[in-house]
Structure 1
Amino acid sequence: MTEQIHVEQRGRVLLATLDNPPHALMSAAMVGELDKLVTRASDDDGVGAVVLTGAHPERFIAHYDVRELLALARSAPALPESVVKASIGALGALEMIPGSGLLIDRTPAAGLVQLRAFHDTMSRIGRSGAVFIAAINGVALGGGCELSLACDLRLISDDGLIGQPEILLGIPPGGGGTQRLARLIGRGRALELVLEGRPVPAAEAERIGLVHRVLPRAGLMNEAMATAERMARRPKAVVAGCKRAVLEGGNLPLEMGLKMEQAVFVSSLGLKSTQKAMEAYVAEMNASGDVAAANPAMRDRLVDGTFIDFSG
């Protein structure tokens, strides 16, 4: 089977190009390759960031392959929402039994397994010590939007479109779109976009906080790679801790979220790389007689990650 994600390592950055011609559709096969990519980025100490972009000249990901969804719809019985919720819990228990996967694949539950695989991969991006950057080169709808929402940073070309159009085919977003969108831009605006199903132009997406930066198409990849190279110099253990504190702790009651932050902070103090960085900073202060961050040149080195090497 032809690979749908081409991965190239450039220093501490993995450039992952999503390539499913001719329409740039997301598929179950692509989700499987994404899962392997997340594992590699998380486990390899030589990788600190991942840039995702589309091979299609005008599309990041058009949307999930509706043909696959239709096949799942035809194979699945019509069930009320309450029954599906119960089935999700039962399926999790069944999956723990060795050899159950082959049995599940022959039942209507296979669609639920595929959906869970997508969710699990997106969640693992949010827990990874590598920084994930979506370089959205044009259209990112449906599953493409959901993939970008799971990433830590979203950069989009100035002619780009992003959104969740699933309702136009009679389904809600199913890959985390309702949840991550609401947490990112607020429930009211998220509900409007999900119910409208319209694509959001790049400038509007930036204004409402759906993406971080809008860039000319010609400069998108240069900016994405430069950002990734800078982020890749951050300590991976602390990156993962920050992501947990913001993405998971931010959804907890304040007191519980603060406890999560405290745990991440205290555990980072025990890292040798953290102590080495603080020692270097104090040495710089002693040598200059001033706060190191007050010096513009030193501040630039701190921000771009060249003051201390966390990769060791």
Structure 2
Amino acid sequence: MVQQVKTEQVGRVLIARLDNPPYALMTTQMVAELDAIVDRADSDDGIGVVVITGARPDRFLAHFDVRELLQAAQGAPALSESQAHAALRVASRASSLPGARVLLAHSPARGVLDLQLMHKVLLKIGRSGAIFIAAINGETAGGGLELSLACDLRYLTEGGELAQPEVLLGFPPGGGGTQRLTRLIGRAAALEIMLTARVVPADEALRIGLVTGLFPADRFLDEVLKVANSLATRFKPAVGVIKRAALEGASQPLEAGLLLEQAGLLAMLGEKGAQQSMKTYVDYIDEHGAMPSDDPEVRKQLLGGTFAPFYPH
């Protein structure tokens, strides 16, 4: 089996290249490999940022492999929405039992397991202490856009294009597109993009907040890596708290979201890394009689995350 996600580590940045020629299709195998990469990023203090990009110069990912979806559809009984809800709940409970995933993988529930794996991976990205950046080189649609939406930052090449076109084949986005796209850019804009299935050009994607920034194609990855390197020294426990509070707390009632934020703050104040950084900051004020941000060089260190290293060098 040929690996579909190739990795390369540069300093504290892990570059993950999506490589499934000739069409750059997303597959269940690719999702499983991404799952392993998220676990690696979470367990390795030497990784602060994961940059996901396409191996093809002109394409991040085409979309999820429709052939896989068709095979899953043909191998499973037709279900109503309420029956599908029940099947998902049953599969979720059953798959947690020892050996059950192996049995389910050889049953009509295989498609349900594959869908749940993709959702699990994208949720893990949103909860990870590593920062995930989607470096969307050229174009992406469907599952490729949904993977990008699960990342913390999204950069697109100038002239690039995005789309959520599933409706053209008679089904809705299934990798979180209806939820993450709506929460990112608002219901009206998200519905228009999903229902028309039109291509969103780079300039519009930036204007509506679908992407974080645009870079020229000839220096695209270099520019993304500059951003990644500047973020790679952030304290991973704090990053995880911020991400969970923003992504999950913001969709809850205000008091519940604030409680999640407060719990995260209290937990981080007990971390030795945070205490070390705070002490260095206070010591600087006491020694110099000035705020660290008043000194241009120290301010640069602060923004670069190197004022008080959280990790051993």
TM-score (norm. length: structure 2)? 0.98
Shift of 1:78: 1.2
2:32 matched to which residue of 1? 32
Q: Which amino acid aligns with 1:82?
A: S
Give aligned-pair identity as a percent: 51
Shift of 1:244: 0.6
Shift of 1:289: 1.4
- 1:211-250 deviations in Å (ceiling 9; x for gaps): 0001111222112111111211000000000001100101
Shift of 1:69: 0.9
Quote the Cα distance in structure 1 between the aligned partners of 2:302 and 2:123: 30
1:281 matched to which residue of 2? 281
Shift of 1:287: 2.4
Quote the Cα distance in structure 2 between the aligned partners of 1:96 and 1:263: 29
1:115 matched to which residue of 2? 115
Q: Which amino acid aligns with 2:269?
A: L
1:82 matched to which residue of 2? 82
Q: Which amino acid aligns with 1:270?
A: G
Q: Secondary structure at the match of 1:25?
A: coil
Q: Which amino acid aligns with 1:250?
A: A
1:219 matched to which residue of 2? 219
- 1:102-133 deviations in Å (ceiling 9; x for gaps): 32122221101000000000000001100000
Quote the Cα distance in structure 1 between the aligned partners of 2:176 and 2:132: 17
2:174 matched to which residue of 1? 174
Shift of 1:96: 2.3
Q: Which amino acid aligns with 2:119?
A: H
1:194 matched to which residue of 2? 194
Quote the Cα distance in structure 2 between the aligned partners of 1:84 and 1:289: 64
TM-score (norm. length: structure 1)? 0.98
Q: Which amino acid aligns with 1:5?
A: V
2:55 matched to which residue of 1? 55
2:247 matched to which residue of 1? 247
Q: Which amino acid aligns with 1:179?
A: Q
1:142 and 2:139 correspond: no
1:153 and 2:153 correspond: yes
Gaps of 5+ in 2: none
1:17 matched to which residue of 2? 17
Shift of 1:310: 1.2
- 1:118-174 deviations in Å (ceiling 9; x for gaps): 000000000110000011001110010000000000000002111211111111000
Shift of 1:265: 0.7
